[in-house]
């Protein structure tokens, strides 16, 4: 894994990174384990600290009142009814909303203590460190090998590209299925394999965080379970955020769950907001808010 430093994040150009352990920059990580209140369940490092986040699309306040801490090597699930802002919030974590002209973000997200939206932060470097996997597998029209090698080449990785590709495919639990046909088109793979290829592609640039927007919703149940198993393996090395409309999936895979809901104002404007964020076990067995209980027991949504 690449170390995280202010210097590389703030670099105006994408730095040339090598996956070799000997190339880790000498600057200390800005990772201070958060002191938890007595009785708290974890002292894991906080990766993202979100304070009063809100997002507008033009005049529409799409989501507001989001404050949460995302912890390292955990899987955090974002759940809630359609339109409550889950994908919008997910996209804030790697500045994907920057490319939507009418999107405006307020509040603060710090990433390892650095303001993610700070003036000098390089959005390209942000997206290398915070990778994304989408709902529908979207491999490039290239070979399996070239899909995985694409990111490292662009980022100027040195080192043996064959090793980089193999490592990413192994981590994505795809290597054994494709090792004899690396030069064939990615489109020759099944949907589940394509999604694991997209995960390999995201991993190949050595990110720190993986954002997954309903990564299994286009897959059959067996391919879905493979992705869920893979997520459990991946969280040893990565911090994962997943949007899912499947509550059983959130309960199965995640350590923490954020439940979002929608409020409607007098003019009929619909705005998502964070209702409750807690350990997944608590959200599903003993939530604090009636709205959470109603949602997880299927009374609405």
- Chain residues that interact with ligand ADP, rule: CB under 6 A: 57, 62, 80, 82-88, 100, 270, 272
H/E element, 214: none
Non-local CB neighbours of 133 within 8 Å, separated by 6+ positions:
195, 198, 199, 202, 210, 211, 212, 213, 215
Q: Compute CA distances 188 → 144, 193, 201, 215, whole Å.
A: 9, 9, 16, 19
Task: Kindly state the smallest distance separating residue 62's Cβ from ligand ADP, in Å.
Answer: 3
Q: Contact, 50 vs 109, CB < 8 A?
A: yes
Q: Which is nearer to ligand ADP, 192 or 272 (CB)?
A: 272
Q: Which is nearer to ligand ADP, 40 or 82 (CB)?
A: 82
- Residue 243 in tokens: 């949007």
Place of tokens 């990174």: 17
Task: Kindly state the smallest distance separating residue 83's Cβ from ligand ADP, in Å.
Answer: 4
Task: Kindly state the smallest distance separating residue 64's Cβ from ligand ADP, in Å.
Answer: 11
| CA 188, 189, 191, 197 torsion-angle sign | negative
Q: Which is nearer to ligand ADP, 44 or 270 (CB)?
A: 270
Q: Compute CA distances 169 → 89, 137, 178, whole Å.
A: 29, 15, 9
Task: Kindly state the smallest distance separating residue 53's Cβ from ligand ADP, in Å.
Answer: 12
Task: Kindly state the smallest distance separating residue 23's Cβ from ligand ADP, in Å.
Answer: 38
Non-local CB neighbours of 41 within 8 Å, separated by 6+ positions:
279
Task: Kindly state the smallest distance separating residue 149's Cβ from ligand ADP, in Å.
Answer: 31
- Residue 177 in tokens: 């299925």
| 3-state secondary structure labels for all residues of 256-293 | EEEEEEEEECCCCCEEEEEEEEEEHHHHHHCCCCHHHH
Closest-CA residue to 247 (of 207, 204, 214): 214
Closest-CA residue to 280 (of 247, 254, 249): 254
Q: Contact, 76 vs 242, CB < 8 A?
A: yes
Task: Kindly state the smallest distance separating residue 270's Cβ from ligand ADP, in Å.
Answer: 6
Task: Kindly state the smallest distance separating residue 214's Cβ from ligand ADP, in Å.
Answer: 8
| CA 30, 117, 110, 90 torsion-angle sign | negative
Q: Which is nearer to ligand ADP, 90 or 172 (CB)?
A: 90
């Amino acid at each position: 894994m690449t170390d995280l430093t202010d210097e590389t994040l703030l670099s105006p150009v994408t730095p040339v990174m090598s996956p070799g352990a000997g190339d880790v920059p000498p600057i200390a990580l800005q990772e201070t384990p958060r002191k938890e209140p007595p009785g708290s369940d974890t002292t894991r490092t906080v990766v993202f600290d979100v304070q009063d986040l809100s997002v507008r699309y033009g005049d529409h306040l799409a989501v507001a009142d989001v404050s949460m801490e995302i912890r390292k090597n955990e899987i955090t699930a974002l759940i809630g009814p359609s339109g409550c802002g889950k994908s919008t919030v997910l996209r804030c974590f790697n500045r994907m909303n920057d490319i939507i002209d009418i999107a405006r973000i307020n509040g603060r997200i710090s990433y390892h203590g650095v303001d993610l939206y700070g003036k000098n932060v390089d959005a390209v470097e942000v997206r290398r460190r915070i990778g994304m996997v989408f709902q529908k597998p979207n491999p490039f029209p290239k070979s399996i090998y070239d899909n995985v090698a694409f990111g490292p080449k662009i980022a100027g990785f040195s080192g043996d590209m064959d090793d980089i590709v193999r490592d990413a495919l192994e981590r994505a639990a795809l290597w054994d299925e494709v090792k004899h046909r690396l030069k064939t088109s990615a489109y020759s793979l099944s949907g589940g394999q394509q999604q694991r290829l997209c995960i390999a592609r995201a991993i190949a640039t050595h990110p720190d965080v993986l954002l997954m927007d309903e990564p299994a919703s286009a897959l059959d149940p067996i391919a879905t379970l493979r992705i869920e198993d893979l997520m459990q393996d991946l969280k040893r090395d990565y911090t994962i955020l997943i949007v899912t409309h499947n509550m059983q999936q959130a309960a199965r895979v995640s350590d923490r769950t954020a439940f979002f809901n929608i409020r409607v104002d007098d003019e009929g404007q619909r705005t998502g907001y964070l209702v409750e964020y807690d350990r997944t076990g608590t959200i599903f067995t003993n939530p604090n808010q009636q709205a959470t209980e109603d949602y997880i027991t299927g009374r609405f949504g």
